[in-house]
């Protein structure tokens, strides 16, 4: 970035940006700016980091929300079938694909989807960001690919956790009692076993939010989605320090707040935790 500047120009700009100060001084100046809501400006673009977050953030938030919903819609039914038919062919297939999607890197799966869409269907998703309000269809075309990739990765973890939890719960005395009273298997699972088996899954979902936030960086890059993940990838490539440090800070704050929300939900759903 500074290779074409003279030494005097380089020293001037470093002093202007505060990069010539000691690291500890830079850190406290950054904390002070954050407290005032000043996220700084990009080195390479005439845009403040706050404006970048407001412009790109909604796309990444949509991707994260859709991926979480998709992970539950896919993972929970797979776990129920797998647990109720333990060690059957359906269970073995479900466990195989769960391990497969855990092992496959999200960015690699994303590139495969992009290439398959391009060569088999001639489809090219829009490259510019479009808000959900302005054009819902174009917006969906932008976010659906990354959301599916991130959602399948989460679904694999959720399916394995929910299966293990269900296998433990169905052996509990209250489940046996419900069956002894003549309730059908579907009612026993839906009314008694599943609600208790989902508590560890909700906790896992909070942890998986970190996977979504970190995974959005290479996945958005693979799909060319102009969200915060793509901005982070570009900032790392260009060594855009202000963008990097403020996006990392934002990701950390979002992750902590969402996990606090998950803990509150768990306490609300499980009276035992409230009483403790």
CA angle 237, 238, 244 (to 5 degrees): 80
Q: What is the pLDDT of residues 135-189, one digit of tens each?
A: 778 778 888 888 999 999 899 999 999 999 988 888 888 878 877 887 777 778 7
CATH of residue 89's domain is 1.10.3720.10
**Residue range(s) defining the domain that contains residue 86:** 56-275
Tell me how far apart the alpha carbons of residues 225 and 258 are, in angstroms, rounded to a whole number. 23
Q: Are the C-beta atoms of residues 125 and 142 closer than 8 Å to each other?
A: yes
Closest CA to 62 of 146, 154, 126: 146
85 occurs within a structural domain:
yes
Does residue 203 form part of some domain?
A: yes
Residue 255 lies in a domain: yes
Distance CA 267, CA 151 (A): 25
> In the beta sheet, which residues pair with residue 139?
none
Nearest to 69 by CA among 166, 132, 147, 164: 147
Max CA distance (Å), the chain: 86
Residue 239 Ramachandran class (φ > 0 left, ψ -120 to 50 alpha, else beta): left
For 14-65, the DSSP string reads HHHHTTTS-HHHHHHHHHHHHHTT---B-SSSSSBHHHHHHHHHHHHHHHHH
Q: How far apart are CA 148 and CA 220, in angstroms?
A: 12
Q: What angle do CA 93, 95, 98 make, to 5 degrees?
A: 110
78-134 pLDDT, tens digit each: 998 888 888 889 889 989 998 998 888 887 888 887 777 777 766 666 666 666 677
Total-model pTM: 0.82
Q: How many domains does the chain have?
A: 1
CA–CA gap between residue 134 and residue 131 (Å, rounded): 5
Under 8 Å between Cβ of 245 and 175 = no
Measured between alpha carbons, how far is 229 from 171 in angstroms, rounded to an integer?
Answer: 43
- How does pLDDT run across 38-87, given as a tens digit for each residue? 888 887 877 888 888 998 888 999 999 999 999 999 999 999 888 888 88
């Amino acid at each position: 970035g500074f290779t074409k500047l003279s030494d005097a120009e380089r020293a001037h700009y470093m002093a202007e940006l505060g990069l010539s100060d000691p690291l500890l001084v830079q850190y406290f100046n950054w904390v002070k700016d954050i407290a005032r809501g000043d996220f700084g400006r990009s080195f390479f673009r005439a845009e403040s980091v706050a404006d970048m977050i407001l412009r790109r953030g909604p796309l990444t938030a949509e991707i994260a929300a859709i991926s979480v919903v998709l992970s539950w819609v896919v993972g929970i039914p797979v776990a129920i079938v797998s647990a109720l038919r333990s060690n059957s062919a359906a269970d073995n297939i479900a466990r195989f694909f769960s391990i497969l999607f855990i092992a496959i890197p999200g960015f690699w799966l994303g590139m495969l989807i992009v290439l398959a869409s391009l060569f088999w269907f001639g489809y090219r998703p829009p490259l510019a960001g479009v808000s959900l309000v302005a054009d819902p269809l174009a917006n969906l075309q932008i976010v659906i690919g990354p959301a599916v990739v991130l959602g399948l990765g989460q679904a694999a973890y959720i399916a394995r956790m929910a299966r293990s939890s269900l296998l433990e719960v169905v052996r509990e005395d209250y489940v046996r009692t419900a069956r002894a009273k003549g309730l059908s298997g579907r009612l026993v699972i839906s009314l008694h076993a599943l609600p208790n088996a989902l508590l560890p899954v909700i906790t896992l979902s909070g942890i998986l939010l970190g996977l979504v936030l970190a995974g959005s960086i290479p996945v958005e890059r693979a799909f060319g989605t102009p969200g915060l993940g793509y901005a982070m990838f570009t900032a790392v490539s260009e060594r855009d320090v202000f963008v990097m440090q403020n996006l990392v800070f934002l990701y950390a704050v979002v992750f902590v707040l969402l996990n606090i929300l998950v803990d509150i939900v768990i306490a609300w759903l499980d009276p035992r935790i409230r009483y403790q």
